[in-house]
């Protein structure tokens, strides 16, 4: 018996590899508006002006590798083994050392710049410790209630704490407490659309903290319900929140 469109889309998305931080598989299947500030371009300008840099949670190294100039000492960290392999292969030719860790095995006052795109957590005291006086932390982060239309479709209404846990005001307070001065803070809400259920499956497999423990088998009824909704009404619309933060270690 020929499989249904739902079965084909889900099977395809469940089989594709999700290592790295490249979302090109979603081309034509989902869209996400990008923040107006252009994180990679801004990061590139900062990397070109320093002698040492640390990129945290580098993923597959795609963002760092997209910067035209890297300082003489550039280190990247990553804790997920498939991404460590990808990042090492990508960044080694550019002289970048990739350290497989989620900790901070670095000496005090080593780096002029610490960066991170979409970190899971931000260890502000450790960042302050490894920065040189006057050094910079530069990061684009996931904001509060990001893509929560999709999260709540699968998990139901989320408590206020979950909806506000990644608010930029919290980041500012934590940075200040660690001895850094926030010099730039911007936030935006961006339209995101999923055009088929395969895009949803791929996204939830890759961005694992959205619906923790997500598997196709566990959420098959909700996936089928969402598939029918998309087929009937068109793309599923959610809103991604992002904020940009730059902070300097007070000398």
What is the pLDDT, as a whole number, of residue 176? 98
pLDDT at 27 over 60: yes
What is the pLDDT, as a whole number, of residue 177? 98
pLDDT at 198 over 60: yes
- Across residues 167-183, what is the average pLDDT? 97
pLDDT at 72 over 70: yes
Q: Which two tokens stand for residue 238?
A: 């959610």
What range defines the domain where residue 141 resides? 5-249
The contacts of residue 127 (CB under 8 Å, 6+ apart) are 114, 137, 178, 180
Contact indicator for 245, 171 with CB cutoff of 8 Å:
yes
Q: What is the mean pLDDT of the chain?
A: 95
Instruction: State the maximum Cα–Cα separation within the chain, in Å, rounded to a whole number.
Output: 70
- pTM as predicted: 0.88
Overall number of domains in the chain: 1
pLDDT at 160 over 80: yes
- Across residues 218-232, what is the average pLDDT? 97
Does residue 231 sit in helix, strand or coil? helix
39-43, 128-132, 207-211: least confident range: 207-211
CATH code assigned at 30: 3.40.50.150
pLDDT at 2 over 70: no
* pLDDT tens per residue, range 94-121: 999 999 998 899 999 999 999 999 998 9
- Across residues 224-242, what is the average pLDDT? 97
């Amino acid at each position: 018996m020929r499989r249904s469109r739902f079965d084909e889309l889900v099977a395809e998305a469940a089989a594709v590899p999700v290592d790295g931080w490249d979302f090109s598989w979603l081309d034509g299947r989902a869209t996400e508006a990008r923040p107006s500030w252009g994180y990679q371009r801004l990061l590139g300008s900062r990397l070109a002006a320093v002698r040492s840099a640390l990129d945290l949670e580098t993923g597959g190294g795609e963002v760092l590798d997209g910067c035209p100039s890297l300082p003489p000492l550039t280190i990247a960290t990553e804790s997920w083994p498939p991404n460590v392999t990808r990042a090492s292969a990508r960044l080694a030719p550019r002289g970048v050392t990739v350290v497989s860790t989620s900790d901070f095995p670095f000496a005090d006052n080593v780096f002029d710049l610490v960066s991170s795109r979409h970190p899971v957590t931000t260890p502000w005291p450790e960042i302050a410790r490894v920065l040189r006086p006057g050094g910079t932390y530069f990061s684009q982060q996931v904001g509060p209630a990001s893509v929560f239309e999709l999260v709540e479709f699968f998990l139901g209404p989320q408590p206020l704490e979950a909806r506000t846990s990644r608010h930029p005001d919290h980041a500012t307070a934590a940075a200040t407490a660690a001895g850094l001065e926030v010099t730039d803070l911007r936030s935006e809400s961006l339209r995101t659309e999923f055009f088929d259920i395969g895009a949803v499956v791929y996204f939830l497999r890759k961005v694992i903290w959205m619906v923790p423990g997500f598997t196709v088998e566990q959420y098959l009824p909700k996936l089928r319900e969402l598939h029918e909704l998309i087929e009937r009404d068109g793309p599923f619309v959610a809103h991604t929140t992002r904020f940009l933060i730059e902070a300097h270690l007070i000398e």
